[in-house]
Amino acid sequence: MNRTLIAVVVVLSLTASLVVAEEAAPLSALAKMPVKEITVFKDGHAFVLHAGRMPTDASGNVLMDYLPTPVLGTFWPYSADKGAKLSAVVASKRKVLIKQTALTLRELLEANVGAEVFITETDAKTYLGTIMGIPTRSSRELEKVSPPNSGEKLPQKGGLILLKTDNGTKVVKIDRIRDITFKGEHRSTSRREEFRNLLTLKLGWKGKPKQAADVGMMYLQKGVRWIPHYKITLDSEGKAHVKLQATIINELTDLEGVTVHLVVGVPTFQFKDTVDPISLQHQAAQLSQYFRRSSQTAYAMSNAIMSQVAYNQPAAVARPAGVDLGPAVAGSQQNEDLFVFDVKNVTLKKGQRMVIPVTEFTIPYRDVYTLDIPFTPPAEVWGGVRQHYWQQSRNSRNTEVARMFHAPKVMHKIRLTNKSKYPLTTAPALIFCKGRVLAQGMMQYTSAGSEVDLTVTTAVDIRVEKDEKQTDRTPNAMKWNNYNHARIDLAGKIKLTNYCKKTAELEITRHVLGNVGKADQDGKAEMVNVLEDPGFAPSGGRYWWQWYSWPGWWHHVNGIGRITWKLKLDAGKSVDLKYNWYYYWR
């Protein structure tokens, strides 16, 4: 081959390489800042700390291809290098140079400029030639002829290839080449440019820039959730062994040897639905501070346990497409003090899930039997209520009226006294006793030192009988707003019989419509503040009194009463709980 031609080809190749290097940063030069700590909240929010010694470019800046999607106002980069001060952080779409294994004939031709090859075209003709290159319109050329402010351009490669043959420079359509045979060695990697969202940490050096700098960044972003769940083993002697484990769902970034802080409670982030512009994202992401003093991020968040005021939250929050953070535990975003569990050395790739033990302890418990009897409609409105349910649910066996006709049931619960140093968080709880599963319930948030009830099952060995009757009716007993009102007096009795083999601790609650009177057996009778105490309403569903069209005068002369008893009933014994109340009717 002509030496002059080889020299020209080499010069052209080197010139092309220099142009590419000026226009695009090699992908291998981009720093990947590792995650050191991550604080995970139960609703899928995570506070992430990246830190490390990162290589710098020729200007002394750190260039990264990882661009987070933080909540507005929570992105905080920093420089921990004494010789370099962080002057700015720039997020931009820039060109990068990617080296990859050549997989197509075109990529092999492009990667081996200057090589001698035997070319076989589609018509089976074969000849020897030297690859000179593929005609390409460079980025600079395209940008010069493009409209102003149209942005950077990627090189535009043609469909032709220039080959040096004995007869001169041959121009061939790449699509016409069927196969090639390299006469000597060849390169198997090709290079191409593409746009990537890059993050540049611009550093101001006191002297000559170093080849590496200690830098980091913190931000709040959605993408990691932890789901707590308890296993509670009862020893039948008043001790409960509690185990807490966590399921961690990672849809954010790869974690390797990371310290994970699992937080009980969810603080309020005012701008959690607004993405910081540094992310270069157009779609809003759902984003979501409490660390130990040993934590590297402790200075950013308070280490004191803080009470959070409950706030209204939609039952379901839209997530970015493709992100599955698993089920949310109902009630886990309600009022909970913030507390943290630390888990060291966690490695979890993006898209993986992990179950890890968190802590275990033993606390006391006792068996409690509760009976809650809601109020039933007064006689004057009973017909309307029954007619409504007959029309709405006449084919259903599970109507509310049917439940009111059935005898009330005593519920067996275990009452845990949290004498551990940890709060109990809202989570599913599996209850065992003597190696057998008793039930699964919902653990409610319980601070250290307080108590919580877990429902086990219906107490079939404690029988309940309820009897109520009208004892008196007094016409014109009261006058209000120039109208006379009759007074209807009623009396009730609840009989409980303990067929268990041990003494039962009982707690009975009876709500009545009207004005409560007295109760025997040390019962406590009181009126309910219906505006501030919703405890009189059964949980779940729409209760009948909410839709019933009450007369305007009803709430002026009547209210809701509550009668409660707390007592112990020996095995084989019975007790009668008597009470009375009255209401006015016009």
Q: What is the pLDDT of residues 530-553, one digit of tens each?
A: 777 777 766 544 566 666 778 889
Within a domain: 451: no
What is the per-residue pLDDT for 571? 95
What is the per-residue pLDDT for 293? 42
Within a domain: 419: no
Domain boundary among 160, 187, 214: 187
What is the per-residue pLDDT for 327? 72
What is the per-residue pLDDT for 220? 94
Greater confidence (14 vs 65) lies with 65
573 confidence band (pLDDT: 50, 70, 90): very high
Encode pLDDT of 71-120 as tens digits: 999 999 999 999 999 999 998 888 888 888 999 999 999 999 999 999 99
Split into its structural domains, the chain has a count of 3
41 and 20, same structural domain? no
What is the per-residue pLDDT for 317? 36
544 and 487, same structural domain? yes
Which of 353, 220, 230, 357 shows the shortest CA–CA distance to 276?
220
How far apart, in Å, are the Cα atoms of 313 and each of 108, 268, 331, 445, 448?
Answer: 57, 11, 10, 18, 26
Greater confidence (362 vs 404) lies with 362
β-bridge pairing 76-79 and 160-165: unpaired
CB distance 524 to 484 below 8 Å: no
Containing structural domain, residue 54: 32-94+195-357
What is the per-residue pLDDT for 195? 84
Greater confidence (182 vs 197) lies with 182
pLDDT at 503 over 90: yes
Q: Across-strand partners of 71?
A: 275
Q: What is the CATH number of the domain that holds 130?
A: 2.30.30.520
pLDDT at 11 over 90: no
pLDDT at 315 over 70: no
287 and 140, same structural domain? no
Within a domain: 453: no
**Spatial separation of the C-alpha atoms in residues 350 and 255, rounded to whole Å:** 8
347 and 215, same structural domain? yes
Within a domain: 440: no
Within a domain: 415: no
Q: Using only the alpha carbons of the chain, give its radius of gyration.
A: 38
482 and 391, same structural domain? yes
Greater confidence (412 vs 389) lies with 412
What is the per-residue pLDDT for 304? 29
What is the per-residue pLDDT for 545? 66
Q: Outline where 158-282 has alpha helix (H).
A: none
Which of 191-200, 269-278, 339-348 has the highest mean predicted lDDT (pLDDT)?
Answer: 339-348
425 confidence band (pLDDT: 50, 70, 90): very high
Q: Determine whether 579 is exposed, middle or buried from the number of CB atoms within 10 Å of its CB (0-12, 13-18, 19+).
A: buried
Domain boundary among 187, 221, 238: 187
What is the per-residue pLDDT for 2? 45
Domain boundary among 170, 187, 204: 187
300 and 380, same structural domain? no
CB distance 248 to 353 below 8 Å: yes
CB distance 198 to 96 below 8 Å: yes
270-284, 334-348, 451-465, 470-484: least confident range: 270-284
574 confidence band (pLDDT: 50, 70, 90): very high
569 and 488, same structural domain? yes
12-16, 47-51, 460-464: least confident range: 12-16
262 and 114, same structural domain? no
β-bridge pairing 224-234 and 84-101: unpaired
**Spatial separation of the C-alpha atoms in residues 444 and 466, rounded to whole Å:** 31
Residue 288 tokens read as 């979501």
433 confidence band (pLDDT: 50, 70, 90): very high
29 confidence band (pLDDT: 50, 70, 90): low
Q: Across-strand partners of 181?
A: 118
297 confidence band (pLDDT: 50, 70, 90): very low
Within a domain: 417: no
Q: What is the mean pLDDT of residues 13-40?
A: 63
5 and 140, same structural domain? yes
DSSP category for residue 536: G
Encode pLDDT of 75-84 as tens digits: 999 999 999 9
What is the per-residue pLDDT for 397? 40
Q: 215 — phi, psi (to 5°)?
A: -135, 170
Within a domain: 364: no
565 and 471, same structural domain? yes
382 and 494, same structural domain? yes
Dihedral angle of Cα 569, 570, 573, 574, to the nearest 10 degrees: 0
40 and 26, same structural domain? no
Encode pLDDT of 393-417 as tens digits: 444 444 555 554 456 889 999 999 9
**Taking all residues of the chain, what is their mean pLDDT, rounded to a whole number?**
82
Greater confidence (347 vs 300) lies with 347
Q: What is the DSSP string of 18-64?
A: HHHHHHSEEGGGSB-PPEEEEEE-TTSEEEEEEEEEEE--TTS-EEE
Q: What is the mean pLDDT of residues 524-532?
A: 86
Q: Outline where 373-522 has alpha helix (H).
A: 379-393, 400-405
**Spatial separation of the C-alpha atoms in residues 275 and 208, rounded to whole Å:** 36
Q: What is the mean pLDDT of residues 125-138?
A: 92
Within a domain: 233: yes
What is the per-residue pLDDT for 25? 66
Encode pLDDT of 219-271 as tens digits: 999 999 999 999 999 998 999 999 999 999 999 999 999 999 999 987 888 88
